[in-house]
Amino acid sequence: MHRTLLLLIPLLLAQSTHAVTVHVYIYGGQADALLYVNGSLIYVNGNQTVNVPNSTLQVYVESPLQYRVFVNGVESDNLSLNPWTSDTINITVRPILYQLNVTVKGPGTLSLRFPNSTQVKVNESASLQVQEGTLITIVAIPKPGYSVGNWSNGFVGNEVWYLVYNDTNITVYFVKSPQTSRTVPAVSYSGLGLLAVLGGVYWFTRRR
């Protein structure tokens, strides 16, 4: 029995200091990972295989954009793992999406232009999922005889910009344009009299 224990002790010590191979996979977008173990840092910015000591592994994930971060299915950018029981680290980054509801009231349409040159035309209403931080150009196009009355969000003008940062409802109201009164040019009777005199002089000199 004692001899068996003496044989197991070196094996246990070797296992405790043995390096473990860990496979790191990054899905969904750009992200950087820092693996901290035993006072050392390992930098990972893509699918990579690394060797780490068989000790508690701290995983820190950072994304350049406002993304939700999941490490092995847990939503967290800072997670402790045991590499001996889990030799795979799956890092998934997902964009934060917000609901954008756009409504058109009255004769006209809206054109939503996104930074990637995509355009969405809205005749009555549309509901879109838009990534946080997206700057949208919204162009109001009234039908002939109509103009933009107002926007629900206090926007002004036919072309506005909106930065997505939460769930939002945007409504534009098209109204009939006010009729412009036609002004009749004033008649100058003195000018007409002078023209008649000049015409008479011209006719008299022609006859002579």
Q: What percent of the chain has pLDDT over 90?
A: 46
Per-residue pLDDT, 66: 72
Its domain, for residue 168, covers: 97-176
Per-residue pLDDT, 7: 40
Per-residue pLDDT, 10: 43
Per-residue pLDDT, 186: 52
Per-residue pLDDT, 52: 87
CA angle 17, 19, 21 (to 5 degrees): 155
Number of structural domains the chain divides into? 2
**Tell me: the pLDDT tens digits for 151-183?**
998 898 999 999 999 999 999 999 998 876 555
Domain assignment of residue 43, yes or no: yes
Q: Are residues 35 and 67 in the same domain?
A: yes
**Tell me: the pLDDT tens digits for 65-122?**
778 899 998 998 899 988 777 789 999 998 889 999 999 999 999 999 999 999 999 9
pTM: 0.59
Domain assignment of residue 192, yes or no: no
Per-residue pLDDT, 180: 64
Q: Are residues 110 and 125 in the same domain?
A: yes
Per-residue pLDDT, 87: 85
Q: Report helix, strand or coil for 55.
A: coil
pLDDT at 129 over 80: yes
Average pLDDT in the chain: 81
What CATH code is carried by the domain that includes residue 158?
A: 2.60.40.10
Q: Are residues 114 and 89 in the same domain?
A: no
Per-residue pLDDT, 34: 92
CB 39 within 8 A of CB 29: no
Domain assignment of residue 183, yes or no: no
Residues 6+ apart with CB under 8 A from 194: none
Residues 6+ apart with CB under 8 A from 112: 102, 119, 120, 121, 122, 126, 128, 136, 137, 138
